[in-house]
């Protein structure tokens, strides 16, 4: 098994772990738990892409990892705003200026 | 020399994969949102960090190595801040589990 | 069965599982989170297929913007977590039949693809050097099929006008009702202060790198839109009224620059959207830079939605 094969297997393994962790979306009693899965796929997806980038020797894939990391953060914040039981929301129309 | 670098890669990436597995198990088995969050942050810090350090010996260019570290730091930082946000949301909603 | 093939099978199985899951999810919130995961998984699939430009766009649009739009829609319906309404059985059967029909047709197309797919890729690659660009995708977008790209950007603007037209008559020209945090805590404010500079640098880097490696205006613009939305959600910046002059200027500067350079092609080169040899790359960079700005503003406003509050006078 060459190092490339090992990296590909590692990528598949991490992907599998992330997939299993997504079950939290199904079971999570509250919406906040579902957002935890967003975080998981953020870091897990970045790990998978970095492993693929070095394993396949295609450096631009690291840019996809960068994009993924930023977007997962941003989506976590957006979803948190809309989670049930979230007392933190108000449409920007109700602000008094 | 090549063999030594490959061994380092295999060891570090495997350790990182182990932390991903631990994080997933924690996410699914821990009883509480806050404890699940704790498991998840280990994935961000250690899982991704070990994988990044394991990939460093395999990357040819300095720019690629720099990119790897920058991506890891970015994911770690945003993961830490978003974890605080999630914990705050849990506390504000007043739920105990 | 080689290792790579086994990994691809795992990936494909995962994709199908997530897609099925998305449909059977009980609440809209869960379904939207799953849809986002699906988009990000699809990005990994594109990477496995060696289509890195598509992977970048899929992660940005499919995993990012679409999920935000869906979540905004769910919030506006005021019931993001109530179970999905029950539809009657005949409607379900009809929908199922339609989906099955589409699947059969797609499957037939995939199975009966010619062994050697007809493609212009080698021709594009041969003419790459003449355009001065290093990324064949960018060359196709801005040199060989520039007309399509121009029309796409105009369509994006039209979509925004369509969203704006949902406003009531009194609110026209006013402030979009983007749901924001009522009391953004210190943590959120800190995130919204530290992430935008990084996002701007990454966005500019993505657009700049698009000339010679995967990237481009769309990907860079999406990141700019995301960090701007973040500052608006954390109330570090006000959501602008849509009749603000600077806003409208930013929206049209991209397509206008593109169109202007295209029309200039009549005089300085052979025809519409032709570039004179030698300065093709600088012209394309200018177009892409303005497009990045316009796309960023357009996408952010699409997510912000139609105006709801009266314009300030």
Residue C85 has φ and ψ, to the nearest 5°, of -65, 150
B63 CB within 8 Å of a chain C CB: no
Q: What length does chain C have?
A: 313
For residue A82, list chain C residues with Cβ-Cβ distance below 8 A: 29, 71, 74-75, 80, 179
In a domain, A94, yes or no: no
Q: Total structural domains in chain B?
A: 1
Residue C1, pLDDT score: 59
pLDDT value for C145: 82
Please judge whether B81 and C185 are an interchain contact, meaning their C-beta atoms are less than 8 angstroms apart. no
C39-66 average pLDDT score: 89
**What mean pLDDT do residues C27-45 have?**
88
Residues in A 25-44 with any Cβ partner in C closer than 8 A: 25-26, 31, 34-35, 37-38, 41
Confidence of residue C30 (pLDDT cuts 50, 70, 90): confident
pLDDT in tens, A38-92: 888 888 999 999 999 998 888 899 999 999 999 999 999 888 887 754 544 444 4
**Does the CB of A46 have a partner CB in chain C at under 8 Å?**
no
DSSP C271: S
| Contact (Cβ atoms closer than 8 angstroms) between residue A41 and residue A49 | no
Rounded Cα–Cα distance for residues C239 and C69 (Å): 17
What pTM does this model have?
0.88
Q: How far is CA C221 from CA A79, A90, B67, C290, in A?
A: 21, 27, 21, 10
User: For chain B, which chains pass the contact test of at least 3 CB pairs under 8 Å?
Assistant: A, C
Q: What is the pLDDT of residue C81?
A: 55
Residue C271 has pLDDT above 50, yes or no: yes
Confidence label for A94 from pLDDT (cuts 50, 70 and 90): very low
**For residue B19, what are the domain limits?**
2-93
Task: Give the H/E segment covering residue A79.
Answer: helix A61-82
In this prediction, residue C27 carries a pLDDT of 80
CA torsion sign for C203, C284, C42, B47 is negative
What is the average per-residue pLDDT within C299-310? 87
The pLDDT value given to residue B41:
85
pLDDT for C78 equals 60
Q: Which of C186, C191, C206, C234 to probe the B interface (max B CBs under 10 A)?
A: C191
Q: How far is A79 from chain B (nearest CA, A)?
A: 10
Q: What is the mean predicted confidence (pLDDT) over C49-58?
A: 89
The CA distance from A26 to the nearest CA of chain B, in Å, is: 11
Quick one: tokens of A7? 């990296």
Does residue A9 sit in helix, strand or coil?
helix
* Gyration radius of chain B's alpha carbons: 16
Q: Which of B15-19, B24-28, C88-92 has the highest mean pLDDT?
A: B15-19
For A8-25, how does the pLDDT look when each residue is reduced to its tens digit (9 = 90+)? 889 989 988 888 888 776
In whole angstroms, what separates CA C84 from the centre of its chain? 27
Q: What is the largest CA-CA distance in chain B?
A: 56
Average pLDDT estimate for C164-176: 84
Residue of C nearest to A80 (CA): C181
In this predicted structure, the answer to whether residue C39 has a pLDDT above a threshold of 50 is: yes
3-state secondary structure of A94: helix
| Nearest-neighbour CA in chain C from A2: distance (Å) | 11
Which domain covers residue A78, as residue numbers? 3-83
**B27 neighbourhood in chain C, CB within 8 Å:** none
Q: Calculate the average pLDDT of chain C.
A: 85
Phi, psi of C25 (to 5 degrees): -65, 150
pLDDT in tens, C197-242: 999 999 999 998 888 888 888 899 999 999 999 999 888 888 888 8
Q: Do C180 and C231 touch, CB atoms closer than 8 A?
A: no
The mean pLDDT value of chain B amounts to: 86
> Is A38 among the domain residues?
yes
User: pLDDT for B25-67, tens place per residue?
Assistant: 888 888 888 888 888 887 778 899 999 999 998 888 888 899 9
Give me the number of domains chain A comprises. Answer: 1
Q: What percent of chain B has pLDDT over 70?
A: 96
Give the pLDDT confidence of C14-26 residue by residue, as tens digits: 889 888 988 888 8
Minimal-distance CA residue of chain A relative to B77: A73
The complex's ipTM? Answer: 0.87
Nearest to C187 among B74, B77, B88 (CB): B88
């Amino acid at each position: 098994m060459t190092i490339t094969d090992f990296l590909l297997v590692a990528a598949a393994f991490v992907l599998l772990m992330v997939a299993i962790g997504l079950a939290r979306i199904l079971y999570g009693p509250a919406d906040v738990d579902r957002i935890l899965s967003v975080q998981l796929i953020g870091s897990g997806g970045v790990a998978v892409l970095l492993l693929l980038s070095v394993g396949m020797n295609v450096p631009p894939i690291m840019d996809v990892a960068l994009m993924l990391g930023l977007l997962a953060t941003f989506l976590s914040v957006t979803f948190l705003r809309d989670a049930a039981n979230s007392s933190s929301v108000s449409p920007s129309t109700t602000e008094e200026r | 020399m090549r063999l030594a670098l490959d061994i380092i890669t295999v060891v570090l990436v495997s350790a990182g994969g182990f932390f991903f597995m631990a994080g997933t198990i924690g996410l699914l088995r821990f009883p509480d949102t806050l404890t699940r969050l704790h498991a998840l942050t280990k994935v961000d810090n250690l899982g991704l960090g070990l994988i990044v350090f394991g990939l460093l010996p395999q990357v040819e260019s300095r720019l690629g190595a720099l990119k790897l570290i920058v991506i890891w730091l970015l994911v770690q930082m945003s993961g830490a801040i978003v974890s605080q946000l999630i914990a705050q949301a849990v506390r504000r909603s007043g739920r105990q589990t | 069965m080689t290792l790579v093939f086994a990994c691809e099978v795992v990936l494909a199985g995962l994709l199908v599982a997530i897609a099925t899951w998305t449909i059977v999810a009980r609440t809209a919130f869960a379904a939207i989170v799953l849809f986002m995961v699906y988009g990000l998984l699809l990005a990994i699939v594109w990477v496995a297929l060696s289509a890195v430009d598509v992977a970048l766009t899929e992660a940005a649009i499919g995993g990012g913007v679409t999920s935000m739009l869906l979540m905004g829609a769910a919030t506006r319906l005021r019931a993001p977590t109530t179970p999905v309404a029950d539809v009657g059985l005949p409607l379900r059967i009809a929908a199922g039949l339609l989906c099955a029909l589409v699947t059969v047709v797609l499957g037939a197309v995939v199975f009966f693809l010619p062994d050697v797919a007809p493609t212009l890729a080698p021709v594009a690659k041969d003419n790459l050097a003449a355009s001065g660009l290093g990324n064949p995708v960018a060359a196709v977008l801005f040199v060989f099929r520039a007309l399509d790209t121009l029309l796409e950007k105009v369509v994006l603007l039209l979509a925004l006008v369509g969203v704006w037209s949902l406003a009531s008559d009194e609110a026209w020209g006013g402030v979009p009702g983007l749901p924001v945090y009522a009391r953004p805590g210190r943590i959120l404010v800190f995130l919204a202060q530290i992430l935008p500079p990084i996002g701007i640098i990454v966005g500019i880097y993505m657009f700049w790198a698009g000339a010679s490696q995967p990237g481009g205006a769309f990907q860079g613009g999406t990141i700019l839109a995301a960090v701007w939305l973040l500052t608006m959600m954390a109330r570090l910046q006000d959501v602008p009224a849509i009749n603000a002059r600077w806003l409208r200027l930013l929206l049209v500067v991209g397509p206008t620059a593109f169109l202007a350079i295209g029309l200039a092609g009549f005089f300085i080169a052979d025809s519409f959207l032709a570039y004179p040899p030698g300065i093709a790359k600088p012209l394309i960079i200018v177009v892409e830079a303005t497009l990045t700005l316009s796309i960023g503003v357009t996408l952010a406003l699409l997510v912000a939605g139609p105006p709801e509050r009266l314009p300030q006078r």
